[in-house]
Amino acid sequence: MKLLRFGPLGNEKPGLLDADGAIRDLSGVVGDLSGAVLGDDSLAKLRGIDPATLPVVEGNPRIGACVGQVGKFICIGLNYADHAAESGMALPEEPVIFFKATSSIIGPDDDVEIPRTSVKSDWEVELGVVIGKHTKYVAVEDALDHVAGYCVVNDLSERDFQIHRSGQWVKGKSCDTFGPIGPWLVTRDDVPDPQNLSMYLEVNGHRYQDGSTKTMHFGVATVVSHLSQFMSLQPGDVISTGTPPGVGLGQTPETYLKPGDTMELGIEGLGIQKQNVVAG
């Protein structure tokens, strides 16, 4: 099942993508794709609805982030062996955890703004994991049962802020528009193996990232279990699980985003994002 949110920023409605690619309006059934709506029982009820009974959304509405009211936006760093190598960093013994501000979240096709003092704004295609129920001290073998579904995330990063300015990575990760999420939340029953998904990212038509979740250092189940040892995870929390090689920091010479650029990125079965880059 492919769920999405459509409409103006801040006034998105919940929707469902039918087999023909049409958006069906779910606002008469649920208020938003957030919180308890992402639980197993609620998703089972949505799955039981005949899409043909739902209103068709006409035209081409803006697509918003596929999850509403995100409580935590948690990221895993250096989680692909080949990306760690291009960054000149050793693979971590435990998952590297950092946060992005939820104010960075935008829709999958919204404009990305380059911060005014940025000199090294970078791209990162990542598998997003959306939590579906309260998760605390969960075992690895049970962790995926706590996942509502998966989505595409562009974990944009300002490398100068992240690496060369004092403090934590969060200041290079949390700029406004640095968290496009979507287009769809694909429920876990439609993603039989999250560790076997191809993924890519292009800038101005040039493919920089061409990888697979196969090369994750810590898989989704391990990441969810690990996080739950340190904090409870709530329905609607989003985990961005790391990026394969090909980021701008790893190019020779280093290559970064500038106003006028366009990005396209996608993950197998989870949809495609397209963003124009503008000055902030």
Number of domains in the chain: 1
pTM higher than 0.75: yes
Structural domain contains residue 208: yes
Residue 62 lies in a domain: no
Structural domain for 267, as ranges: 68-279
Give per-residue pLDDT as tens, 225-238: 999 999 999 999 99
The per-residue pLDDT for range 29-66, each reduced to its tens digit, is 999 999 999 999 999 999 999 999 999 999 999 999 99
In a domain, 112, yes or no: yes
What are the pLDDT digits (tens) for 176-231?
999 999 999 999 999 999 999 999 999 999 999 999 999 999 999 999 999 999 99
Q: Is residue 31 part of a domain?
A: no
Tokens 């009211």 appear where?
A: 69
- Is residue 228 in a domain? yes
Specify if 200 maps to a domain: yes
SS (HEC) of 92-106? CCCCEEEECCHHHEE
Whether residue 42 is contained in a domain is answered as no
- The enclosing domain of 257 has a CATH number of 3.90.850.10
pLDDT value for 116: 94
Examine residue 174 and state whether it is found in any structural domain, yes or no.
Answer: yes
d(CA 148, CA 259) in angstroms, rounded, equals: 35
CB count within 10 Å of CB 159 equals 19
